[in-house]
Amino acid sequence: MTPLERLQQHLNVTITDFDTLYGKPVLQLTEYLTADDYGIYVLTEDPNQLDWENDVYYYKPDFDTIMERIVEVAENTPEAKIFIDDIEEHLEDYQIEQWLNDNIDDDGTE
């Protein structure tokens, strides 16, 4: 089982990219280009109601920020679908492994 699969199982969520997206995601992380070709990142629960102070990032959000939002969604929405446009870029296996080691006891609980 991959680190991502273990994370999904532990949090009871589905993390997918654009190629495998089905249904409406509860949380999404997407990179957009501005009109003058600057990249921005949007990590939001509702792309139609952006909270510009908390959902939009000039730089790629760090792993801890992404995980905080994923955990929050997982606690509030069982079996949530989470869309991340480039999973490998934002959730690297070693980071997921470290998070799992830090947050899960030997018996599988937090």
> 49-89, pLDDT tens digit by residue?
999 999 999 999 999 999 999 999 999 999 999 999 999 99
Does the structure show a pLDDT above 80 at 19? no
Kindly state the average pLDDT of the residues 101-105. 87
Cα-trace Rg, the chain = 14
Does the structure show a pLDDT above 80 at 20? no
What does DSSP say about strands 13-16 and 80-84: parallel, antiparallel, or unpaired? parallel
Rounded to the nearest 5 percent, the helix, strand and coil shares of the chain are 40, 20, 35
